[in-house]
Amino acid sequence: MPTTEFLDQLRQIVGASHVLAEGDLTAYEQDWRKRVHGKALAVVRPGNTAEVAAVVKACTAAQVQIVPQGGNTGLSVGSTPDDSGTQVVLSLTRMNQVRHIDRDNLSFTMDAGCILQNLQDVADKEGLLFPLSLAAEGSCTIGGNLGTNAGGTQVVRYGNTRDLCLGLEVVTPQGEIWDGLKGLRKDNTGYDLRNLFIGSEGTLGIITGATMKLFPQPAAQLTAWAAVPSMEAAVRLLGLSHQHLGAGLTGFEVMGQFALSLVIKHMPQLRVPFAGLADAPPYYVLLENADSESEQHARERFEHLLELAFEDGCVLDAVVAESIAQAHELWHIRESIPLAQAEEGLNIKHDISIAASRIPAFVEHADAVLQREIPGVRLVNFGHLGDGNLHYNVQVPEGEDGKQFLRDKEGLVNHLVYEAVAAFDGSFSAEHGVGALKVDKLEKYQSPVALQMMHAIKNALDPQGIMNPGVVLAKS
Amino acid sequence: MPTTEFLDQLRQIVGASHVLAEGDLTAYEQDWRKRVHGKALAVVRPGNTAEVAAVVKACTAAQVQIVPQGGNTGLSVGSTPDDSGTQVVLSLTRMNQVRHIDRDNLSFTMDAGCILQNLQDVADKEGLLFPLSLAAEGSCTIGGNLGTNAGGTQVVRYGNTRDLCLGLEVVTPQGEIWDGLKGLRKDNTGYDLRNLFIGSEGTLGIITGATMKLFPQPAAQLTAWAAVPSMEAAVRLLGLSHQHLGAGLTGFEVMGQFALSLVIKHMPQLRVPFAGLADAPPYYVLLENADSESEQHARERFEHLLELAFEDGCVLDAVVAESIAQAHELWHIRESIPLAQAEEGLNIKHDISIAASRIPAFVEHADAVLQREIPGVRLVNFGHLGDGNLHYNVQVPEGEDGKQFLRDKEGLVNHLVYEAVAAFDGSFSAEHGVGALKVDKLEKYQSPVALQMMHAIKNALDPQGIMNPGVVLAKS
């Protein structure tokens, strides 16, 4: 079919103004970190699920490949077209309505294009909590969160996006609509399609709607900052926190001293507790404790925990935020690490996970290997220790040219890190997804038996290979 | 291949004493509720994963179908052979070792044939909690729990078996071993095979090992029993409990007055609070509150909740157990309902789920329909209201012949109940699985789009149709 005729078909489905085929489409064609610049045949912006289905049917009939896209904030290049100019970007952002709030079922149902922060706000206005929270929450969409099974800062208590989802609405590669939005907490009626689509990054179908869990708002939430003598001590503190805060433990972030030194250097207005000292300890932990009772009770529990931790020796010094503003300040330090890294210059990011018990040994091993193989390398280590998830990033050695270093050493750095991760039975992709960026890593590090099953599933559900080809799995 | 030659192959793999082809094999060939009596070619009992893989390869080569079996305690006929005498029952019960406990990662890894109660005990000895708990725990296996995604009494806090699982080891229908036992809490490296196998009832492969979550033991656990004026009030109490106990709420069971009257009648030694009175309220709730602090604190929280509930009017009367013995007594009443039902005579069981918000309207509707269509019918309604899961059972009318009633009315009863469930967007299979028993219900009530995807997945992973054919999905 000639392109003009095909585009006319799309225009008839979604309206002419929602088929973008000219002008500056950079926002849709380029990934968040600007690593990849693609070229789309068109960007199509359907307004509802029926339109998504019709667009998919038109694309399938014309054998045009589809790249589903939410807020396009992903870090693994999973939602941008290739440079062929033949793929359609199907943007869900016009589908941004909350469809239904069910207070008694503690759930709500929404379009996939809803911005995460808007969903947090909707829950908040109902006096409820939607706990998914991550750096891109102001622009990422729930469909994207589901497509990548996003993590974030509350996983230690509430789980990944997967764990927050009660149901999906999906348009299949054949353009059929699967309505799985019953909002049930128990439902064993056949294979778990919901979890199959979650984390499949738009390669098996397009998530158009979701029913997500809500939670009661805690009566109080407190934040503490602790200096710890080692990663081993941080893991011990995690165990004590689980034991004494129970499900009250909603956040447990670890930060290395060098990561914080970059914050101190580039954001001098931030007051970083303990980390600026000459004999600063090597690691810091940010803890959050949510309490269903009262602030006073939360404070007592926190103080009790910290007393035990001092006795144990796993905490050297600690502060508990006295106010919400101070709590925000502490979190702001943690969240400033990526920006401070960028200010310092180019760096190589990793999003890895390892069983918490093995993280101290992993860090010791990986630090040593990298420093031996690449003298002067600087390790920016921080992340969600409560989930065994580290952002184990590598900053260019001081004084070296960043671009040159990346050209020469990025492959080696990734190789060393991922080999170390594999040696410790870890994952090279904890919460950012595989995207197009890490397809080769999946081929290398995923079990061949698992890979074979994944390809079989892809071929079974999308035999034409229409949906987001080259993402997650290599094109077969 | 001649049968004797094939059996010799199996004997070479697992040892002659672990291939049972003669004598009384009823325990393996008959389902728990004795609804189906099959006939196996042989029962094979491999001792490790490599043996399972070799058995599967032998069966695949000989085109012999395999029925994986754990404790064979399922309620939906998912683990017994058909009556052809051609299928092999592959029993996992010899694989019953805990392989590894990882305290700092709060996880442990075990063979699929471990008895659930033994796993609870292992966790307990470590001072940790494995919260999966259900009636058959003394004989069911973790592999069976995973295969059916079992629920139980702690789901409101800890989720279904699915939510407790960090990883699986699976033998595929091709006899390959997939080792997914890394124990990671975040891992987005391709499609979610783990959740696909969980709940697939042995139709996609055989779960041979698992890594499961552990939790800190609560410092105290308290049980309360409340009489409530209506199902609506019970749902309101659920909301208050979520709000004021937070994640402390570990159990929330509802029981109808008639269900308890059967316990009072057939187990006169049990003292059932409030339900024996002439003007007994229609519903009762059993609540459990786990506390990471102390018994005193748990008691204060419970009393605070109950005060609010009295004020609200959603609780008429309540007791909080004073001792562990008394708490066990209260749970024992709840757990005695199925036995009391059996003592009363034949009955028709349903395992349904509906959004908690819609349960009061559902119950009113379903009760009315059944009483209108089948005069004298007696409704035994109880279940895990915290998860929207009711065991909405139907007892034969007083004085009628049970067998005759089942012959005449079982189809109609099921039809009326499942149509009502469908009208309220519920599920006909909440926690017991589909098995062979409810395949026709899946065909009828599952979305055709979803069904088509499930068949495509089955065909992709098990193209020969070797694994547990006729379970979950109709043979294609």
The CATH number of residue B54's host domain is: 3.30.43.10
**Whether pLDDT at A460 is above 90:** yes
A289 in the same domain as A171: no
Chain A interface test: which of B201, B453, B455, B464 (most A C-beta within 10 Å): B453
- Are B57 and B125 part of one and the same domain? no
Residue A438, domain member (yes or no): no
Mutation target vs B (from A188, A244, A431; most B CBs, 10 A cutoff):
A188
For B52-198, strand residue ranges (E) read 66-69, 87-91, 98-102, 107-111, 128-129, 165-171, 177-180
Say whether B388 and A459 touch across the interface (CB within 8 A): no
Instruction: Note whether A200 and A224 are same-domain residues.
Output: no
Q: Give one DSSP letter per residue of A353-413, joined into a string.
A: E--GGGHHHHHHHHHHHHHHHSTT-EEEEEEEGGGTEEEEEEEPPTTS-HHHHHHHHHHHH
Amino acid at B259: A
Q: Flag if B160 and A460 touch (Cβ within 8 Å).
A: no
CB-CB under 8 Å, B195 with A195: yes
* Spatial separation of the C-alpha atoms in residues A307 and A320, rounded to whole Å: 12
Rounded CA-CA distance A268/B322 in Å is: 57
Q: How far B366 CA sits from the closest chain A CA (Å)? A: 18
Query: Could you list the residue range(s) of the whole structural domain that residue A125 is in?
Result: 98-216
- Asked if residue A270 is part of any domain, the answer here is yes
Cα A213 to the center of its chain, rounded Å: 18
Look up residue A246 and give its DSSP letter.
G
Taking only Cα atoms into account, the Rg of chain A, rounded to an integer number of angstroms, comes to 23
Same domain, A231 and A334: yes
Q: Are residues B292 and B350 in the same domain?
A: no
* CB nearest B106 (choices: A242, A290, A389): A242
**Distance (Å, whole) CA A160 – CA A131:** 10
ipTM: 0.97
On whether both B202 and B268 belong to a single domain, the answer is: no
Residues B131 and B210 both lie in one domain: yes
Number of domains present in the structure of chain A = 3
Q: Which of B186, B216, B434 sits opposite A189 (nearest CB)?
A: B434
Nearest CA in chain B to A454: B191
Residue B234 lies in a domain: yes
A104 plus A124 within the same structural domain: yes
Smallest CA–CA separation between A301 and chain B, in Å?
8
Mean pLDDT of chain B: 96
Q: How far is CA A80 from CA A35, A72, A120, A208, B306, in A?
A: 11, 8, 26, 18, 54
Tell whether A192 and A229 lie within a shared domain: no
Is B142 among the domain residues? yes
Distance from CA of B270 to the nearest CA of A (A): 31
Q: What are the backbone dihedrals phi and psi of residue A232, each rounded to the nearest 5 degrees, phi first? A: -60, -40
Asked if A422 contacts A350 with a C-beta cutoff of 8 angstroms, the reply is no
CA–CA dist A204, A191 (Å, integer):
15
Q: Which CATH number characterizes residue A146's domain?
A: 3.30.465.10
For residues A462 and A453, what is the distance between their CA atoms, to the nearest angstrom? 14
Q: Which amino acid appears at position A66 of this protein?
A: I
CB pairs under 8 A between A and B: 278
- pLDDT tens across B210-220, in order? 999 999 999 99
Has residue B443 been placed in a domain? no
Q: Answer whether residue A348 is part of any domain.
A: yes
Task: List per-residue pLDDT tens for chain B, 476 residues long.
Answer: 789 999 999 999 999 999 999 999 999 999 998 989 999 999 999 999 999 999 999 999 999 999 999 999 999 999 999 999 999 999 999 999 999 999 999 999 999 999 999 999 999 999 999 999 999 999 999 999 999 999 998 999 999 999 999 999 999 999 999 999 999 999 999 999 999 999 999 999 999 999 999 999 999 999 999 999 999 999 999 999 999 999 999 999 999 999 999 999 999 999 999 988 888 999 999 999 999 999 999 999 999 999 999 999 999 999 999 999 999 999 999 999 999 999 999 999 999 999 999 999 999 999 999 999 999 999 999 999 999 999 999 999 999 999 999 999 999 999 999 999 999 999 999 999 999 999 999 999 999 999 999 999 999 999 999 999 999 999 87
Same-domain check for residues B122 and B147: yes
Q: Per-residue pLDDT tens for B44-101? A: 999 999 999 999 999 999 999 999 999 999 999 999 999 999 999 999 999 999 999 9
Instruction: Note the pLDDT of residue A82.
Output: 97
* Same domain flag for B111 and B140: yes
A300 shares a domain with A359:
yes
Q: pLDDT tens digits for B161-187? A: 999 999 999 999 999 999 999 999 999
In a domain, B66, yes or no: yes
Cβ atoms within 10 Å of B319's Cβ, excluding its own: 15
Domain end among B200, B216, B232 = B216
Outline where A104-249 has alpha helix (H).
116-125, 142-148, 155-158, 161-164, 193-197, 231-245
